[in-house]
Chain A
Amino acid sequence: MNHPAHLQGHLPATHPLSPRHRYAQFPWAARMMSDYAASDLWETDTRRLPAALARIRRRARHFAEQHLRPLAAEADLAPHLPPGECSPSLQRLLAEAGRDGWLSYFLPAPLGSMPWRALRHAPVWQSSLVIEEFSRVCGGLSLLLSAHHLGVMPLLLSGNPRTVLKYVAPIYRRCRAGDPHLVAFAITEPGAGSDVEDGHGAESYRPGVVSTPVDGGYLLNGRKIFISGGDLAQSVTVFAALQGEGMASWTCFYVDCNAPGFKLVRTELKMGMRASGAAELEFSNVFVPHDRIIGGLRNGWAINRATLNTSRIPVSAMALGMARAATEAAVEFAQQYQLGGRPLIDAQDVQLLLADMVAETRSLRSLIWQEARHAWRPRQLHAALCKFHATDRAQRVCEMAMDLMADHGGLHEQRVEKIFRDIRLTRIFEGTNQINRLSLVEDWQTQLLDPDTHSMRPGVSV
């Protein structure tokens, strides 16, 4: 292909006023401060990562291109299947993802698939890298593959090696063997969405899923709704109150979906994220033995909140992946679409728009990496901030892409309309963005109320 020497409005790289190629002629000391190779942006970022993470990023991109890309449009357009059914192609994808280690990367070998050298870095960072690559190719498929990690997280956060060996190890083993055992995370109830994400709301909520003690364990009764992957899961981490007590008694029960009394009621017909099921689950006297209580009685609320702190940064990365996909789709459109005998990208207004999109996308990545890098013990304030900011801004980026394409942007084949429908969820789930703003403040209270004890200077620092 014949590449033009320059875009309209810009000088060719060989022009005397185009500085980059002159830097190489600077004296050594000046060269050290100016000369650079303008490499691909994705490569630039990948090279900036620690080697083990860079490898994960490359592998994730490769996997997404190979296995997610061919299914993305199909999974979005497919008719809504009866609850619990999964198309053969998605089944194959899950098996392949399991074999390739994408369903077991929160622990290193021999239990999981995390590379040992990656162990030096916060797992939240790794999962953010993976999810960005997956959701760039398809939001719905990335949710299909990542809701499972959310389901497993309470088991890891039990902090109990016996729980990990007894439950997580076999889950991971089956995933690695290509016969995935998927887990879902169930906190939302018909009467409580925000109230299970926010302590102030939980305080006055009368729990809908309740556990009653019986010989050898508990009986669960009630309903959970909108549970991602609840339709394909073999087990679910279910949060329920103890009979006669409030939300402070919340306890995490590891429920086997084959247990009598467990019912998959329906899956929702959603705006987007159509590759992932959002399931309503009903519990009628579902027996859960004592050894499937995770993290101890009445510790469920804290485990729930800690789980959300680990997942909200990866959800930001999900939005980032989609913002990136929208930006890339817009760039491709601008390069290929001809108006007046020139590609759109030659127009200054289009260049300005693309510049904004790249800047938005990359500033989200900077924010997410900055927080994820330090998320060994993910702080609620940081996680919530990333979540609401990245998801709100990512949708804005997607709107810019649609605006560029005008009526072409409404066509499914241009991809951005689907990205919009997928992105829209990220502002609602894992706590609405309103609730995430309040989560930031809740966590910040300590400094706001008593700044001088917590800071070297008088006043609150941001």
Chain B
Amino acid sequence: MGLLSLSADPEGYGLWEQPAEKAGMLLSLRMLGQFGAVNAGVAFAWHRIALAAYVARQLRLPLNADAPLAATLVPTGHLGLARTSLARWLTGQPPSDEDSALLADWLNRREHDTVLYAPAAWESVLLPVWDQHTIAWRRVNRSDWQVTNCARAHGFDELAAFRLREPPASAAPIVSVPGDPRALFTRVLKMDMLGLMAIGGGALARAQTMATDYAAVRRQGGKLIAAHAAVQQLLTDIESARLRVDQALGSFGLALDEVDLGAVAASRIDVHKHLCHAANQAVQVHGGIGYMRDLGVEKILRDQNMLRLQAGGIHDARQFVAGWKGASA
């Protein structure tokens, strides 16, 4: 047992090792919450590393024994969630020509850059690709693809940002999924989205403590600021956000296959808006000092923004949910 799985042992009980069981799901989500409370950037990196290990196990790929923490994953295509097409395909609706073309393009890494936020020393990344009308995977070594280092990102200060591009002749072999590729991809998206929410929930808990503590010592307007309705409103917004996240995560704390991806995606839209709003309110409680990097609350806001932008972001998630419910383009 370890926080992060470092072996191919199927009996392990680390992060994202046993999501098929309710206890394993709860363990993973709570762990990510705890990590997120300390540092959302690091939590995000570990989450994606654990997902990479999960997918590798499903694909029966050997883990990189020398540097298991250097293998990460990007669970989506180059932007968003492929409108309604991905959801339609995942739910087994017959894909139109347009759906197929869109999915092929969404997962086309040759003509589009894929954005990666990962520890600076990452060595390989697992990516979904479109292959023969289905989703397969590729493990790409850093040296095999064109990797552009980007300037500092909005948040996740502990990580670095990259653009990846598949070169015309790519060495990375395509690995098809033993079993049902739809099921695997659905699980990966669920774990990714739930993990992002859990990390955000942890970071929110930390922001809440900071804001509450500060409001209990800072005096303005002749009293502690916690005694002003304006500040009480800010603190209550944070509390409602926390309840929403807890409720959402609570309702998804089931064995992975009992969780509905459409519901996760729909809930993610709302949850991440609340997480960001709450982080904004936590900054606001602090006034000017909240804007300063020394304190750390502005970092929570930047990290919440970053979490919101991952897994396809929340704009396209609306189309995804529509597709999940059967809508076409």
Interface residues of A (CB under 8 A from B): 73, 77, 188, 191-195, 198, 200-201, 203-205, 225-226, 268-272, 337-341, 344, 347, 349, 353, 395, 399, 402-413, 417, 420-421, 424-425, 427-429, 432-434, 437-438
Contact = CB atoms under 8 A, between A and B. Distances in A.
Most buried by B among A205, A341, A408: A408
Contacts of B105: 338-341
4 tightest A-B contacts by CB? A406-B313, A417-B154, A204-B222, A434-B230
B315 A339 contact: no
A77 B161 CA distance: 14
Contacts of A349: 83, 315-316, 318-319
Most buried by A among B82, B220, B309: B220
B302 A421 contact: yes
Contacts of A417: 153-154, 305
B262 interface: no
Contact of B102 (A340, A403, A421, A438): A340
A417 B318 CA distance: 22
B80 A406 contact: yes
Contacts of A412: 150-154, 161
Given A420-B305, A425-B291, A428-B284, A411 B318 contact: no
A268 B292 contact: yes
Contact of B101 (A198, A271, A341, A404): A341
Interface in B65-86: 76, 78-80, 82-83
B261 interface: no
B87 to A, nearest CB: 14
Q: Is the interface of A mostly helix, strand, loop or mixed?
A: helix
B221 A406 contact: no
Contact of A194 (B76, B115, B220): B220
Interface in B98-153: 98, 101-102, 105-106, 112, 115, 117, 150-153
Contacts, number: 163
Interface in B279-329: 280, 283-284, 287-288, 290-294, 298, 301-302, 305-306, 308-310, 312-316, 318-319
B221 A195 contact: yes
A270 B219 CA distance: 23
B287 A424 contact: no
B315 A427 contact: no
Contacts of A425: 291
B19 interface: no
Contact of B309 (A406, A434, A437): A406
Contacts of A407: 76, 79, 115, 117, 309-310, 312-313
Interface of B: 76, 78-80, 82-83, 98, 101-102, 105-106, 112, 115, 117, 150-156, 161, 163, 219-222, 228, 230-231, 234, 276, 280, 283-284, 287-288, 290-294, 298, 301-302, 305-306, 308-310, 312-316, 318-319
Given A271-B298, A271-B302, A403 B315 contact: yes
A154 B314 CA distance: 46
A302 B220 CA distance: 20
A73 B153 contact: no
Contacts of B98: 340
Contact of B161 (A193, A198, A200, A410): A410
B196 to A, nearest CB: 11
Contact of A203 (B222, B294, B298, B312): B222
Given A406-B313, A412-B152, A434-B234, 5 more contacts: A73-B151, A201-B221, A339-B105, A410-B115, A410-B309
Contacts of B115: 407-408, 410-411
A392 to B, nearest CB: 10
27 contacts: A194-B287, A200-B221, A201-B221, A201-B222, A203-B222, A204-B222, A269-B293, A270-B292, A270-B293, A271-B301, A339-B79, A339-B102, A341-B101, A341-B105, A403-B309, A405-B309, A407-B117, A408-B79, A410-B115, A410-B161, A411-B150, A411-B163, A412-B152, A412-B154, A417-B154, A421-B154, A424-B280
B104 to A, nearest CB: 9
Nearest to B74: A407
Contacts of B301: 271, 424
B111 to A, nearest CB: 8
Most buried by B among A77, A409, A412, A433: A409
Contacts of A193: 220, 287-288
